[in-house]
Amino acid sequence: MTKIGIMTVGSRGDVQPYIALGKGLKAAGYEVRLAAPSIFEDFARTHELDFFPLSINPKEIMEGKEARFWIESERNLIGYLRMFQMFTQNILTDLHIELWQAAQGCDAVIYTPFALAGHAVAQKLGIPRFVSGLQPLGRTTEFPNILLPTWLNLGARFNYNSYLVAEQVVWQPIRGQVNRNIARDLEMPPVGFRGPFEVIYAEQTPVLYGYSPLISPAPKDWPSWHHVTGFWHLDPSQSWQPEPELLEFLDKGPPPVYIGFGSMPNRKPRESAQIALKALKRAGQRGILLSGWGGIEQSDLPDDVLMVDSVPHSWLFPRMAAVVHHGGAGTVGAGLRAGVPSIVVPHFADQPFWSERVYEQGVGPKPIPRWRLNVGNFAKAIRTAIEDENIRSRAKAMGEQLRNEDGIGNAIRVIRETIST
């Protein structure tokens, strides 16, 4: 039986879609091994996947001061790049040897950008490899690199060159460390000056994108080996049950507004929580807050607001009047699939890109960057999302389309065709 290794590094939003893909591959008759941070082992095994634990702890990294400064430096390019280098150096310390160990016995490898060492591992083993992303990565003339401001579209040449520049911005700070690691752990020659992205293009390594063409169509100038498959949706495990308190809260009144920013660190969590509570009150809406608001307890909240720990988005979001989130790719997909309006408060990286896509599709109000969030504009966005019939109808229609999309099946077809050739 063909065994496929999936390698991903990051927060839950970076891991959950690959658990979904792994389950789909397993149901299609493949053996699957997921290599991911060890804190997700129970999550993966709940979905009956073979798991290889990576020593990196994304929770500790994201809660550290370097990650907080990184996220808060999005308008300071030099600071952003400096923090990115520190962040990636933490990730890369032992990653090559761990991914080498995880790949033993695999017949093919799927790896994500932060697990880029998976490419070298697959080269060493001489097995097929796939790059995978939850956001557009390929060079195109249609829009600039997603790490740039969404409004900075200065034409085809600028857009294409922005990818070449971004590749080097990512590669050069870690080039020395990566080449030392692959020499030490894999006994392989160094990657060239232009980096692994150039290798991917030269080899035409297949790229799998786990998002929907309905929200971001594949650019017309992408090569045929780039595949936008659709979102990789994960249903809750059969053992999961909602807490009685949550069911009681939902039954007591009209659908509430969900507010949660995932793994995004916050220097002033209590202040942010107060903004959210006041905005809900001004908009006249009930709310559900995701836990992690800096010491805020349920006893501090009004009766029409409930705080919850992790609840599967696929179960919770369809029961909401609207969802407020940071714009991570997985959360965007879950919100759109639920068929309810999305209010996006982007923090950094690809989140502004997704927030603009949500707005352009008419399934949510204009996004509010994190540093501009206040009670007034937050309350206005909530009212708009709930009261604007056009937004609500477009969100409902988008949800119906996405629920009929087979992103996992499309990805599996690409994988099967590639491995069999």
- Asked whether residue 158 is assigned to any structural domain, the reply reads yes
Sheet containing 129-133: order of strands: 50-54, 31-37, 3-7, 108-111, 129-133, 207-209, 226-228
Are 193 and 279 members of one domain? no
What is the reported pLDDT for 72? Answer: 56
Are 185 and 322 members of one domain? no
> What would the pLDDT profile of 68-120 be if each residue is shown by its tens digit?
555 555 545 555 555 566 666 666 667 889 999 999 999 999 999 888 889 99
What is the reported pLDDT for 303? Answer: 93
What is the reported pLDDT for 75? Answer: 47
Are 223 and 342 members of one domain? no
**Residues 67 and 4 sit within 8 Å (Cβ to Cβ):** no
Query: What is the number of domains present in the chain?
Result: 2
417 CB-contact burial (10 Å; exposed 0-12 / middle 13-18 / buried 19+): exposed
Are 334 and 412 members of one domain? no
What is the reported pLDDT for 270? Answer: 75
> CATH number, domain at 134?
3.40.50.2000
What is the reported pLDDT for 87? Answer: 62
**Residues 125 and 105 sit within 8 Å (Cβ to Cβ):** no
- Give residue for tokens 């707005």: 359
**Pairwise CA distance, residues 179 & 196, whole Å:** 11
- Asked whether residue 71 is assigned to any structural domain, the reply reads no
- Asked whether residue 280 is assigned to any structural domain, the reply reads yes
> What would the pLDDT profile of 34-56 be if each residue is shown by its tens digit?
999 999 999 999 999 999 999 88
At residue 133 the predicted structure's pLDDT band, cuts being 50, 70 and 90, is very high
> What would the pLDDT profile of 344-394 be if each residue is shown by its tens digit?
999 877 889 999 999 999 999 999 998 899 999 999 999 999 999 999 999
- Asked whether residue 256 is assigned to any structural domain, the reply reads yes
DSSP result, 30-79: -EEEEEEEGGGHHHHHHTT-EEEEES--HHHHHHSHHHHHHHHTTT-HHH
Are 12 and 156 members of one domain? yes
* Tokens, residue 226: 């780039």
- Asked whether residue 86 is assigned to any structural domain, the reply reads no
Closest CA to 175 of 92, 54, 62, 83: 92
**Pairwise CA distance, residues 105 & 315, whole Å:** 36
Closest CA to 205 of 127, 121, 129, 106: 129
What is the reported pLDDT for 67? Answer: 55
Give the DSSP letter of residue 372.
G
- 130 pLDDT higher than 80: yes
* Tokens, residue 122: 């697959």
Closest CA to 66 of 55, 45, 46, 82: 82
Are 133 and 218 members of one domain? yes
* Tokens, residue 76: 């300071």
- Asked whether residue 81 is assigned to any structural domain, the reply reads no
pTM, entire model: 0.91
3-state SS, one letter per residue, for 301-368: CCCCEEEECCCCHHHHHHHCCEEEECCCHHHHHHHHHHCCCEEECCCCCCHHHHHHHHHHCCCCCCCC
86 CB-contact burial (10 Å; exposed 0-12 / middle 13-18 / buried 19+): middle
Are 24 and 171 members of one domain? yes
**Pairwise CA distance, residues 235 & 396, whole Å:** 19
> What would the pLDDT profile of 282-333 be if each residue is shown by its tens digit?
999 999 998 865 556 666 789 999 999 889 999 999 999 999 999 988 899 9
Mean per-residue pLDDT for 143-158? 84
- Asked whether residue 144 is assigned to any structural domain, the reply reads yes
Are 205 and 320 members of one domain? no
- 157 pLDDT higher than 80: yes
Are 158 and 12 members of one domain? yes
Q: Give 343 or 79, the one with higher predicted confidence.
A: 343
Are 212 and 321 members of one domain? no
**Pairwise CA distance, residues 413 & 420, whole Å:** 11
Are 187 and 287 members of one domain? no
What is the reported pLDDT for 386? Answer: 97
- Asked whether residue 343 is assigned to any structural domain, the reply reads yes
**Residues 87 and 61 sit within 8 Å (Cβ to Cβ):** yes
Domain encompassing residue 368: 244-403
CA trace torsion 333, 366, 279, 396 (10° rounding): -40
> What would the pLDDT profile of 247-271 be if each residue is shown by its tens digit?
999 999 999 999 988 654 555 667 8
Are 286 and 370 members of one domain? yes
8 CB-contact burial (10 Å; exposed 0-12 / middle 13-18 / buried 19+): buried
What is the reported pLDDT for 113? Answer: 87
